[in-house]
Amino acid sequence: MKIWLGLGILCLGLSLNSFAEGDGGSSASSVPTLTPAPEFNKDFQKLDQILGNKAYDETYTLTDPALRASDGSLSRYSVKSALTYSGPGINNLSGAVIPSTDGVLRNNNVKASGNVYANYRQDSTTTLSFGSGVTFNDPFTGTNQSDIASNPFVQWNKAYRWKGLEFITSPEILASTDPTYTNVGEVGGLNWYNSGVYNFDKTNWKISLSTSMYYWAFGRGYLASDNKAGSIVQQYSFSWTPGAKYKFNDRWVAYSNLGFQVYNPRNTPNASILWNAQTTWQTGFGWAYDRDIYVSPYVQAFPSNLIQDNVTANLSLTFSLL
């Protein structure tokens, strides 16, 4: 797996280094000097005035564009969306199913999905969010049912910085309304998500790490029929995603990472049993319009089964309004 991670970084970082702009060999942990972007939210200025929508000062606690967009707008009140288009295998771009190899219960339809947040910012580094998941299955054909809103949640988000390390931590509680999971008795869950970047001094290279811990609550006992079609229901899970990034300038980055997960299957009476989910490899680019808008096209594959059928094209978008 180290070989694949290295190849991904070399392909994205070294081969495109000639296109780098701006800070050349400057320190990656220095305060960015972004060229001011055109006003994107002019239409919301009147609403800002009605709400008394204070904007907190930019402290540059976060300098990584993906983390800044994830942290959201610096306004007291704002709306944020974090959406991902999960595509089919690249050898069948009209396909309706995302490749999967581990049998874990999940929505494997080609889809655009993510979360929408209503944010209340307490200070420059702390936000309280109320939101819901959104899913649009087969967004280009509309042939499958779509969940416009599902799995409402409450989330607290805090940004930190210590020397070259910057990260956000986000505990969350949610209610399950997606039929994929309510049909097996799931009623809600707890999640603790963390994401960080370490900026090496005097270089544009960074290392990253994201982690999450989920625990799911159920309104009834386990039934043999819950594992229908071989899909495995999880009781709890741990995931971690180490990676590397190369900063071309203040707006463009290239990255590659490996995603690992272990989980406790609900069909076992032993709560300490952990099974491995499929390991994923993602390689892509990220572009920041400003703090509030971040776009990232990427490809995903399974290192243990690197065949063309399992390579997918994807796109993530994070943006804030107000």
**In this predicted structure, what is the pLDDT of residue 87?**
86
- Residue 104's domain comprises 2-321
For residue 27, pLDDT beyond 80:
no
Q: In the structure, what pLDDT confidence band is assigned to residue 228 with cuts at 50, 70 and 90?
A: low
For residue 180, pLDDT beyond 90:
no
Q: What is the mean pLDDT of residues 105-116?
A: 80
Q: In the structure, what pLDDT confidence band is assigned to residue 320 with cuts at 50, 70 and 90?
A: very high
Least confident of 138-152, 156-170, 204-218, 261-275: 138-152
Overall domain count for the chain: 1
**In this predicted structure, what is the pLDDT of residue 42?**
52
Q: In the structure, what pLDDT confidence band is assigned to residue 2 with cuts at 50, 70 and 90?
A: very low
- pLDDT over 90 for what percent of the chain? 55
* Beta strands, E only, the chain: 77-89, 111-123, 126-137, 147-162, 165-175, 186-199, 205-218, 234-247, 252-265, 275-276, 280-290, 293-301, 312-321
**In this predicted structure, what is the pLDDT of residue 159?**
98
**In this predicted structure, what is the pLDDT of residue 249?**
92
Q: What is the DSSP letter of 12?
A: I
Q: Residues 51-97: pLDDT tens digits? A: 667 889 999 999 999 999 999 999 999 999 999 998 888 887 777 77
- pLDDT over 70 for what percent of the chain? 78
Residue 114: how many CB atoms within 10 A of its CB? 20
Arithmetic mean of pLDDT over the chain: 83
The pair of structure tokens assigned to 299 is 């490809």
Q: Residues 291-311: pLDDT tens digits? A: 999 999 999 998 888 777 788
**In this predicted structure, what is the pLDDT of residue 116?**
96
Q: What is the mean pLDDT of residues 159-168?
A: 96
**In this predicted structure, what is the pLDDT of residue 45?**
55
Most confident by average pLDDT, 200-204, 212-216, 217-221: 212-216
Q: 60 Cβ partners below 8 Å, 6+ apart?
A: 31, 32
Please report, for the domain that includes residue 43, its CATH number: 2.40.160.40
For residue 26, pLDDT beyond 50:
no
Least confident of 108-122, 149-163, 303-317: 303-317
2 in helix, strand or coil?
helix
CA distance 184 to 188: 12
The pair of structure tokens assigned to 35 is 């060229």
**In this predicted structure, what is the pLDDT of residue 38?**
53
65 in helix, strand or coil?
helix
CA distance 168 to 123: 14
Q: In the structure, what pLDDT confidence band is assigned to residue 276 with cuts at 50, 70 and 90?
A: very high
Q: What is the mean pLDDT of residues 97-106?
A: 62
**In this predicted structure, what is the pLDDT of residue 20?**
40
Query: Which residue in the block uniquely carries the two structure tokens 């741990």?
Result: 238
Q: In the structure, what pLDDT confidence band is assigned to residue 37 with cuts at 50, 70 and 90?
A: low
Q: What is the mean pLDDT of residues 97-122?
A: 79
